[in-house]
Amino acid sequence: MALIVCHSPKGGTGNTFLAAHMALGLAEAGADVTVLSMAAHDTLPFHFALPPSTTLSALHASSEDSVVVSGIDLRHARTAPKDPDFIPMLKDLGYFQTGRDRTLILDVPSCERNLARRLVNHACAHLCALDTAPETLALLPQMFDEAGKGGLSRTSFVINRLDDTRRLARHNAAFVRELMGPRLIGRIRLDESVPESIAMLQTLARYAPSSAALADVRRLVDIVLPALDTDISIWSGAKSSSYAA
């Protein structure tokens, strides 16, 4: 079992996209994946080609009520930020152990920093999606301060929606690359196919199999997968395939 926390210091960086496609990739690789959305108004179902009318079941709901797509169990835990038993419950379920046989991916909204920090302390990995907006970079010092060295040791960064034809985006991405070093495990290129696939109510893999973003996120899955079986941080074992290398 493994717990992966997807949380970004700023909203709108593609955190849910990353969580959803990490789930799809890990499930393709044979993992038994559950994705838990903690957003009050979650957009997670859209990345699984589900219509807006879809309502996810709570974590405690029976399996008959669950929404399962491509073998991935999609749930919500909107009350988790205020539920003192949430983290102990995850421990009781065994998600604080390593192993890819059962993987829980938590899509934590950017505003839930306190919850994210406590979850990261127990997680196998923390994936932090960043975009190249200066506002996002400006939040990094605060994020580092709050995470501390223990939290940062489990954190791997991903630049999302990278448009390197734009000067500022290119410069900011280079800055992040230099700052993060091996902790930056990859980048996902800006790809119009992503919103188009949502609008088409299709998965990205079906709508645009040649999608650049899809290829990038699949590379990330290849980096994350081996780390699920170990106590080693993703980024420390990803040197050869790191975008930063």
Partner 1 sequence: MRVDASNLLNRLGRQDFSYKEFEDRFTELELWPMLEALLKDPRLLELDGAAASGAAAPAPESLPSAQTQAAEFVPTPPRPAAPPAPEPVATDSISALFRRYEGPNAAAAPAPPAPAGSGQDVRAMLRHLSELGSRGEI
Measured between its terminal Cα atoms, the distance across the chain in Å is 29
- Rounded least distance, CB 51 to partner 1, Å: 22
Q: Locate 68 and state its tokens.
A: 């399962």
Cα distance between residue 161 and residue 14, in whole Å: 8
Nearer to partner 1 (CB atom), residue 67 or residue 123: 123
Nearer to partner 1 (CB atom), residue 29 or residue 200: 200
Q: Token match 């975008």: residue?
A: 243
- Rounded least distance, CB 100 to partner 1, Å: 16
Nearer to partner 1 (CB atom), residue 67 or residue 224: 224
Cα atoms in the 13 Å half-sphere on the side-chain side of 185: 26
- Name the site residues for partner 1 (rule: CB under 8 A): 81-82, 84-85, 87-88, 91, 114, 118, 121-122, 134, 137-138, 140-142, 144-145, 147-155, 164-165, 168, 170-175, 177-181, 183, 189, 192-193, 196, 207-208, 210-212, 230-233, 235-236
- Rounded least distance, CB 165 to partner 1, Å: 6
Give the CA distances from residue 55 to residues 8, 37, 173, 208, in Å, rounded to whole numbers and listed in that order: 24, 11, 36, 26
- Rounded least distance, CB 137 to partner 1, Å: 6
- Rounded least distance, CB 64 to partner 1, Å: 29
Q: How many CB atoms lie within 10 A of CB 206?
A: 10
113: buried, middle or exposed (CB in 10 Å: 19+, 13-18, 0-12)? Answer: middle
Q: Locate 175 and state its tokens.
A: 């800055």
Nearer to partner 1 (CB atom), residue 40 or residue 174: 174
